[in-house]
Amino acid sequence: MKANEKMRVGIIGTGWIAEKAALTLQGMDTCVAYAVGSRTSSRGSEFAKCWNIPKAYGSYIDLINDPDVDLVYVGTPHSHHYDITLEALHAGKACLVEKAFMANHRQAAEIVELAHKKQVFLAEAIWTRYQPAVGIVRKLLSDGRIGIPRLITATLGYSMGNKPRIMLPELCGGALLDLGVYALNFVRMFFDNDIIDIQSQCVKSPTGMDLTNAISLTLKGGLLANMQSSACCVGDNIGVIAGTEGNLIIDNINNPQVIRVNGPDRVFVEDIPVPRQITGYEYQFETCRQCLLKGLLEPVEMPHEETLYIMKLMDGLRQQWGVRYPMD
């Protein structure tokens, strides 16, 4: 790919997030949905027709082997990220892999090691990390607009019914890997202080997956972070960073639209909207494109080390709760 060319994305999977990716890429000048790969030829063709995508493949490996695909975007359930990414990296293909990155830390470490060995670009598609809200909040914090941060709260909840990929261990179900991962990233992208203590609890589904969970982290430097995520109720999805002189209210932690700044005694100071979006997913694709053009192997917005850290954290929480996957 040259600087004046569009990055050609090969989308793997044809589900909810694959549609969002196609919609996003349609609106971008610098990237294009070039191919789609499905386990089923007919589904791949239908998806390609619907989204005006030039190539449709009835297998993931055929998409991976298309020499014109610049970036493989893995949009299958978490349980299937490992095998697909492994194949893609062996084929020397740059990969953007949906969150949760892998089923567990062991898989994630293997994949990262392979990417390094093969010198191939690899990134986690945790879209919030790539969005402009990150820079806005970091600046507010470093400017001391809320004094010294002391307490972070973050909730993410969606009523997702009996979706197999939430309910089944073999699809790496549960709220943590699907939603809690955003709350953990919300905390970590602003405060990567060492964790001194972790307390947590969860309510499980009859299939043994965490449906609702609460996590409390004590961070070095006098900070406490409380997070909740749930796959069975409608959350407020708000993040709050409370400091000695005010607070920031981020609405919402899964795609920030407005950052409210309050001063002492919760007196309203200002609302800062984020720039107009296509969907909010465009930033992760553009970051990948910039990395490929510069020959980088990972994005600074979400380094491999951080992806691995979050995976390890989630392994530990699942272990506490007894939430097990066949690949553990």
Ligand X SMILES: NC(=O)c1ccc[n+]([C@@H]2O[C@H](COP(=O)([O-])OP(=O)(O)OC[C@H]3O[C@@H](n4cnc5c(N)ncnc54)[C@H](OP(=O)(O)O)[C@@H]3O)[C@@H](O)[C@H]2O)c1
**Contacts to ligand X by CB under 6 A:** 13-18, 38-40, 43, 75-78, 80, 98-99, 125, 127, 165, 178
CB of 277 to ligand X, least distance (A): 13
Instruction: Pick between residue 242 and residue 250 the one whose CB is nearest to ligand X.
Output: 250
Please state the closest distance from residue 8 (CB atom) to ligand X, in A.
19
Considering the complex, state which of residue 112 and residue 219 has its C-beta at the smaller distance from ligand X.
112
Question: What CA–CA distances, in Å, run from 239 to 38, 39, 294, 300?
Answer: 36, 38, 34, 23
Give me the least distance between CB of 176 and ligand X, in Å please: 11
Closest separation in Å from C-beta 268 to ligand X: 30
Measured CA to CA, the distance from residue 184 to residue 155 in angstroms comes to 10
Rounded least distance, CB 98 to ligand X, Å: 4
Query: Closest approach of Cβ 228 to ligand X, in Å?
Result: 18
In angstroms, the CA 274 to CA 121 distance is 28
For ligand X, give the closer residue by CB, 41 or 199: 41
Instruction: Assess contact for 111 and 102: CB atoms under 8 A.
Output: yes
93/145 with CB nearer ligand X: 93
**Rounded distance between C-alpha atoms, residue 162 and residue 193, angstroms:** 36
> Strand 210-219 vs strand 258-262: parallel, antiparallel, or unpaired?
unpaired
CB of 16 to ligand X, least distance (A): 4
* Smallest distance, ligand X to C-beta of residue 21, A: 9
By C-beta, is 141 or 189 nearer to ligand X?
A: 189
The amino acid that residue 4 corresponds to is N
Looking at the Cβ atoms of 58 and 316, the one nearer to ligand X is: 58
Backbone phi and psi for residue 297, each to the nearest 5 degrees, phi listed first? -100, -10
Pick between residue 80 and residue 93 the one whose CB is nearest to ligand X. Answer: 80
**What's the CA gap between 134 and 34, in Å, rounded?**
29
DSSP string for residues in 218-259: EETTTEEEEEEEESBS----EEEEEETTEEEEEE-TTS--EE
Q: Which residue minimizes CB distance to ligand X? A: 15
Give the number of other Cβ atoms within 10 Å of residue 3's Cβ. Answer: 8
Residue 299 vs residues 145, 247, 289, 296, 305: alpha-carbon distances, Å: 28, 29, 10, 7, 11
Cβ distance to ligand X smaller for residue 50 or 196: 50
CB 284 within 8 A of CB 85: no
